[in-house]
A and B are shown apart, each in its own frame.
Chain A
Amino acid sequence: MTTAPIGAAARPESSTTMLDVRNLKKVYEGRGRSVEAVRDLTFTIASGELVCIVGPSGAGKTTLLRCVAGLLDSTAGEVVLEGERVTGPPPGMAVVFQEYGRSLFPWMTVRQNVELPLKEKKVPKAERQRLVREALEAVGLADAQGAHPWQLSGGMQQRVAIARAVAYEPHLLLMDEPFAAVDAQTRADLEDLVRSLWKRLGVTVLFVTHDIDESVYLGQRVIVLSDSPTVVLEEVTIDLPDERDQLVTRSLPRFAELRAHVYELIQQAKGGHRPAS
């Protein structure tokens, strides 16, 4: 199924594994009805990678992410993060939720929102203030410290959520369709923000999206999911230049090829195609 150069794993052999998802299966048990959201997912992510997960709506992306985050128990299989099996939210992990507006504490200011997780981690005060300041500067919100989340626009709220995650200094950053509800221009800015933060901090990022262009633009690798019950269709290595630019990168012929390839995979997935096991 793979077109020649695409999908060839180009990860350095020496890299250590950050996240290992093995035969993950999730069945939601409802009243007399059970939904098999995720059938069998296996993939690994190396330390420092930026990997996108793309799949049609209802593919079980959120389910997968919640299992990885330890917010949801899996039915079978396991998630191993930095060598430890995940049974609840692990330390060293931060999540940016799709519902950005609802993930910020409305009774706290922007600053307090970013600072709270650090207080819980018992980061000393001076260090805490530095982290909060730097995170808010990085997302361009240094002036909004004293505002409450509901006084900000949607894009700004999402940046606060990102700043909170970044200040926490996680090893693994999970993002669930974080930009699905912001306008196109803001979205492009936020995509570049994620790339630059990832490069600067060396954090491992797992970015979930249903937007094919976004996954190809952002990721070093794109894991394409089938629709529910979900399996991995293909892991596509994105061999685009490391320096990405909204205009330049998106107009590269290679970008178009990769995009078309992922698009085809997803079309096939909707048609019920499964990889030969």
Chain B
Amino acid sequence: MNTLSAGRKVLLLLAVPVLLVAAWWAATADSTDFFWPPLSQIVGTFGETWFTGRFTADVLPSLARLLVGYLVAVALGVGLGTAIGSSRTLRGLLEPVLEFFRAIPSPVLVPILMLFAGIGNEMKVLVIVSGCVWPVLLNAVEGVRALDEVLRDTARCYRLRPHSRLVHLVLRGASPQIAAGARQALSIGIILMVISEMFAASNGVGFTIIQFQRSFAIPQMWTGIIMLGLIGIALSVIFRAAEARLLSWYTGLRMSQREG
């Protein structure tokens, strides 16, 4: 019964992607358009394009920069967001500034950051941090502010020390909202990883795609785009698994509220 429904779930999950791929395959099957090569040709070049050195030379450096930038952004966002969310004064002072910075699209920072941080890894990591930090920060502020009044009173009555209060009340209580911000930040991070490499780089997935495009290696360029999609899927699967572990209480709580 259970394995059956699990099987069904997988089928449903894969149905649309399979249909789309099939449609792409069929539509381009006898394409002679230079910019729309047959999918069979793209798939055929995928292995040789990415697994003969480029994986370690380009994909891994991209992922490393993304990981560092993302983790720094999450740490910064949670730290600042918790501080701002906990203090009315800080919030009053910083809210207009935060709105301003949040409204600036991070890609426009690339040329500016290049001036300060050059065109190396630091610049790319900085670009990723500058884009990823906002959703985490703003969600952390909201999450901390929305902490239940009764829970706060409970923590005060039982005289929780500041450290326990932070760990057991504030961070745990805000964690669902922080996770929502971190999920947004992840997709922003992938976009910025690519964009930062398109401006100036000597390796990376984004850099490679631009190289293929400039040298009219069109099927290879398409494999790069597919590679990005696959990276996105893999990262989101990892994120969901981590979230499911950390927030299982929240899922259960929401389900019990819906039933009750």
Q: Are B253 and A150 in contact (CB under 8 A)?
A: yes
Shortest Cβ distance from residue A97 to the other chain B in the assembled complex, whole angstroms: 6
Is A91 on the interface with B (CB-CB < 8 A)?
A: yes
Query: Which one, B14-22, B158-166, B199-207, is touching chain A?
Result: B158-166
Set of chain A residues within 8 Å of B253, measured between Cβ atoms = 106, 148, 150
Set of chain B residues within 8 Å of A66, measured between Cβ atoms = 153
Set of chain A residues within 8 Å of B164, measured between Cβ atoms = 116, 119-120
Q: Can you name the residue of chain B whose Cβ is closest to the Cβ of A92?
A: B159
Set of chain B residues within 8 Å of A94, measured between Cβ atoms = 157-158
A26 to B23, CA, bound (A): 72
Q: Are B157 and A148 in contact (CB under 8 A)?
A: no
Q: Which of B150, B161, B175, B249 contacts A102 (CB 8 A)?
A: B150
A56 to B150, CA, bound (A): 22
Is A17 on the interface with B (CB-CB < 8 A)?
A: no
Set of chain B residues within 8 Å of A46, measured between Cβ atoms = none
Shortest Cβ distance from residue B247 to the other chain A in the assembled complex, whole angstroms: 9
Give the interface residue-count category, chain B.
20 to 34
Q: Tell me the residues in window 83-105 of chain A with beta carbons closer than 8 Å to chain B beta carbons.
A: 88-89, 91, 93-95, 97, 99, 102-103, 105
Q: Which of B157, B160, B175 contacts A95 (CB 8 A)?
A: B157
Shortest Cβ distance from residue A167 to the other chain B in the assembled complex, whole angstroms: 11
A105 to B171, CA, bound (A): 12
Q: Can you name the residue of chain B whose Cβ is closest to the Cβ of A69?
A: B157
Q: Can you name the residue of chain A whose Cβ is closest to the Cβ of B149?
A: A102
A91 to B153, CA, bound (A): 14
Q: Are A103 and B154 in contact (CB under 8 A)?
A: yes
A88 to B156, CA, bound (A): 9
Q: Can you name the residue of chain B whose Cβ is closest to the Cβ of A121?
A: B159
Is B168 on the interface with A (CB-CB < 8 A)?
A: yes
Q: Are B249 and A120 in contact (CB under 8 A)?
A: no
Is B96 on the interface with A (CB-CB < 8 A)?
A: no
Q: Are B157 and A71 in contact (CB under 8 A)?
A: yes
Is A151 on the interface with B (CB-CB < 8 A)?
A: yes
Is A117 on the interface with B (CB-CB < 8 A)?
A: yes
Known interface pairs A107-B172, A148-B252, A150-B252; A89-B154 also in contact (CB < 8 Å): no
Is B256 on the interface with A (CB-CB < 8 A)?
A: yes
Is A179 on the interface with B (CB-CB < 8 A)?
A: no
A91 to B158, CA, bound (A): 8
Shortest Cβ distance from residue A57 to the other chain B in the assembled complex, whole angstroms: 19
Q: Are B256 and A103 in contact (CB under 8 A)?
A: no
Set of chain A residues within 8 Å of B153, measured between Cβ atoms = 66, 71, 95, 97, 103
Q: Are B151 and A103 in contact (CB under 8 A)?
A: yes
Shortest Cβ distance from residue A103 to the other chain B in the assembled complex, whole angstroms: 5
Q: Are A107 and B249 in contact (CB under 8 A)?
A: yes
Set of chain B residues within 8 Å of A108, measured between Cβ atoms = 168
A168 to B159, CA, bound (A): 11
Shortest Cβ distance from residue A180 to the other chain B in the assembled complex, whole angstroms: 14
Q: Can you name the residue of chain B whose Cβ is closest to the Cβ of A99?
A: B150
The digit string for B211-238, where 1 denotes a CB below 8 A from any CB of A, is 0000000000000000000000000000
Q: Are A151 and B256 in contact (CB under 8 A)?
A: yes
Is B169 on the interface with A (CB-CB < 8 A)?
A: yes
Q: Are B148 and A102 in contact (CB under 8 A)?
A: yes
A66 to B149, CA, bound (A): 13
A105 to B153, CA, bound (A): 12
A62 to B63, CA, bound (A): 55
The digit string for B127-157, where 1 denotes a CB below 8 A from any CB of A, is 0000000000000000000001111011011
Set of chain B residues within 8 Å of A102, measured between Cβ atoms = 148-151
Looking at B168, B173, B250, the one whose CB has the most chain A CB atoms below 10 A away is B168
Q: Can you name the residue of chain A whose Cβ is closest to the Cβ of B150?
A: A102
Is B32 on the interface with A (CB-CB < 8 A)?
A: no
Q: Are A97 and B150 in contact (CB under 8 A)?
A: yes
Set of chain A residues within 8 Å of B175, measured between Cβ atoms = 107
Set of chain A residues within 8 Å of B154, measured between Cβ atoms = 95, 97, 103, 105
Looking at B153, B161, B164, B250, the one whose CB has the most chain A CB atoms below 10 A away is B153
A116 to B157, CA, bound (A): 12
10 A-B residue contacts at CB 8 Å? A95-B154, A97-B150, A97-B153, A99-B150, A105-B168, A107-B172, A107-B250, A150-B252, A150-B253, A151-B256
List residues of chain B with CB under 8 Å of any chain A CB: 148-151, 153-154, 156-161, 164, 168-169, 172-173, 175, 249-250, 252-253, 256-257
